[in-house]
Amino acid sequence: MSQSPASLVGLDAIRRAAERIRPVARRTPLLDAPFASGASGHSTADDRPSGRLWLKAESLQHVGAFKLRGAYNFLSAQDPSALSDGVVTYSSGNHAQAVAWSAREFGVPATVVMPTDAPPVKRAATLAYGARVEEAGTTTVERKARAEAILAEEGGVMVPPFDHPEIIAGQGTAGLEIHEQLAEERARRVNARPEVGPLALVLVPIGGGGLIAGVSAAIRALSPGTRIVGVEPEGAPKMRRSLDVGFPITLEQVDSIADGLKPVRPGDLTFAHVQENVDDVVLVDDESIRRAVVWCYGQRLVVEPSGAATVAALLSGRVPMAAEGETCAVLSGGNLDPALFRAWLGGER
């Protein structure tokens, strides 16, 4: 079902979300990084093009991902009495951790359905935050069905992973921060060279679309001239293909090292936000994502494949850096399997 612009999440809702999450969420740093498009994975200050790259390090958020913003905002918006039976959700990992962490903060039980192939580091963290974990299949369809069955049997509140206004508004607070932090940098460096220019380009990874829906809503309202580009893996192009046909579609299969970007279908509401606010959605291959993870480590940042997809788009030249003004890449998460990381640093595939 198509959504009218009036039904989309607006700046006021994002600002309300920012107030709700302010006591608990980190205001993650916006980091200035030397960068050259098409680099081999290493760069120096001498490589810096005329534009400049900023990294919004959501990898440093509580639970290691932006998902905390939406999950905590969603729970904050509920009637407390509705949460007494606990919360239920389904997730490949980062939303699972965010719901478990937020439920603990609210003092309510959480049940999370995860795929059988969920990264061990994400499953362990979800359990450590106090959630009960069940496993179901390898796709969003399978784990959603199991979560809905648990909800019917046991009661509680379902916390959607991406397709809900309060989830989108919470994720949009990252976009609000990008705008505010760049303005602060501009004021701080007023007498420095080069000066901080306008925000020309923002890149956001796409899983189900909650992050890009919220960030694009905030940026489009605050900086109408900014180009907004979403990034998906070649093996999970659900938003790109949906845009091509004009409505949300379901992929028959997905395959990517970026586990957080592997939903088989975008949300109806997130799709509508992308249609309205996003300039383009591009695809990157897994090898580019691997190189981006290693490049981020060179910036002293541990970033998981899903979070590094935006850098992959820049490194591969799939998206050129803005020639003038500032470029920002959102690093959506940092929950990277240590063994996999060591292998990649050692040149293994």
Task: Name the H helices within the chain.
Answer: 11-21, 67-76, 94-106, 120-128, 140-154, 165-188, 210-222, 238-245, 268-277, 286-298, 305-315, 338-345
Cα distances (Å, whole numbers) of residue 241 to 226, 254, 271 = 24, 13, 11
Q: CA 237, 240, 242 angle in degrees (round to 5)?
A: 105
- Please, are residues 236 and 251 in contact by the beta-carbon 8 Å criterion? yes
Return the structure tokens found at 199: 């925000």
Q: Is 130 left (phi over 0), alpha (psi -120 to 50) or beta?
A: left
Q: Which of 37, 43, 59, 67 is catalytic?
A: 67
Residue type, 284: V
Question: DSSP string spanning 85-108?
Answer: T-EEEE-SSHHHHHHHHHHHHHT-
- Please, are residues 186 and 178 in contact by the beta-carbon 8 Å criterion? no
Which has the closest alpha carbon to 82: 140, 25, 192, 166? 166
**Bridge pairing between strands 110-114 and 132-135:** parallel
288 is catalytic: no
The label of the residue with tokens 């935050």 reads: 129
122 is catalytic: no
The H or E element containing residue 55 is strand 52-57
The count of other CB atoms within 10 Å of the CB of residue 99 is 31
Exposure string over 118-137, b if 16+ CB within 10 A, otherwise e: bbebbbebbbebebebbbbb
- Please, are residues 290 and 305 in contact by the beta-carbon 8 Å criterion? yes
Active site residues: 67, 332
